[in-house]
Amino acid sequence: MLNSIIVMQIVLIELIGDGVENRRIIMLFRIIDRMESMKLNYKLQGDGQPIVFLHGVFGSLDNLNMLAKNFAKHYQTVQVDLRNHGHSPWSDKINYQAMAEDVAELCYDLQLKDIILIGHSMGGKVAMHLSQMLSDTIQKMVVIDIAPIKYHRSGNATILRVLMYCLTNQITDKKQIINLMEQAGINAPTILFLLKSFKNEKWLFNIQAINSQYGHICDWQNISPWLKPTLFIRGGNSSYITNEAYDAIFAQFPNAKIEVVEGAGHNVHAEKTQQVLQLLHNWLEG
């Protein structure tokens, strides 16, 4: 982490040299000077306009790899492990302000401009929050199966209960974990998804922090309208974006377009990859 004096010198130079980016640089100065943001793990591929991919809760940068791999042919893709996930650092704090600050600092470190953000679920909320921080730097945004509203905890309550049981009782045997999840009624695709973050008898995500801070993950504070193009992709079988959420979407993202992928659940990008890729290419390049 840069110290405050060095950051202040960088900011002053930037302010003199580029007045258009003043708002962004002042915000980044505030972020770094607070010494609260974290250095995130990330993966770079390709060249060209940057696309930043942000995963959902319990995930990692690999979760959107089926999209990033395709776009790396013509774009620079940046896949990010959000705090408390993957190989990024752990923290007791999980909220959208903190997570967005982490990503904003990464974008600054990588000197990214004209960014396209693509976020799924929790990552979609991080992307939407970033619209308030890096408004001049973000060109377009894609939000996959999440709305700018507050959700209830019940959606992942069973998963958290089983994970906390395993953590508290120091259960690290993979077969035993699978058996506990099956007994709790967690479906096979979800178990497979969760186990992608179980390596060498350890969870890559911070169960304790996610459980204690899950209310913040479900929460949402309305933001100022962001007027740039935004695409919302909704799984037809998912309950995360309902017709009732459309008012909240258009109030905060007036230039939003909503596409429904029929037959897909919450992990629409994994279940209907080719259809999602076609939607993305048509929208980004149309």
* Residues belonging to the active site: 121, 266
CA atoms within 13 A on the CB side of 147: 23
Taking alpha carbons only, the member of 242, 234, 230 closest to residue 262 is: 234
Q: And the tokens for 166?
A: 């395993």
Q: Give the DSSP letter of residue 64.
A: G
Structure tokens at 229: 């193009």
* Contact residues for 262 (Cβ-Cβ < 8 A; gap 6+): 236
Q: Radius of gyration over alpha carbons of the chain, in Å?
A: 19
What burial letters (b/e) apply to 194-211, b meaning 16+ CB within 10 Å? beebbeeeebbbbbebbe
Helix (H, G, I), strand (E, B) or coil at 34: coil
Helix 174-183 with 188-195: angle, nearest 10 deg: 150
The CA distance from 119 to 135, in Å, is: 16
Q: Which two tokens stand for residue 255?
A: 């230039």
What is the enclosing helix (H) or strand (E) of 243?
none
Tokens of 134: 């890096």
Report d(CA 62, CA 263) in Å as an integer.
Answer: 23
Cα angle for residues 248, 250, 256 (degrees, 5° grid): 130
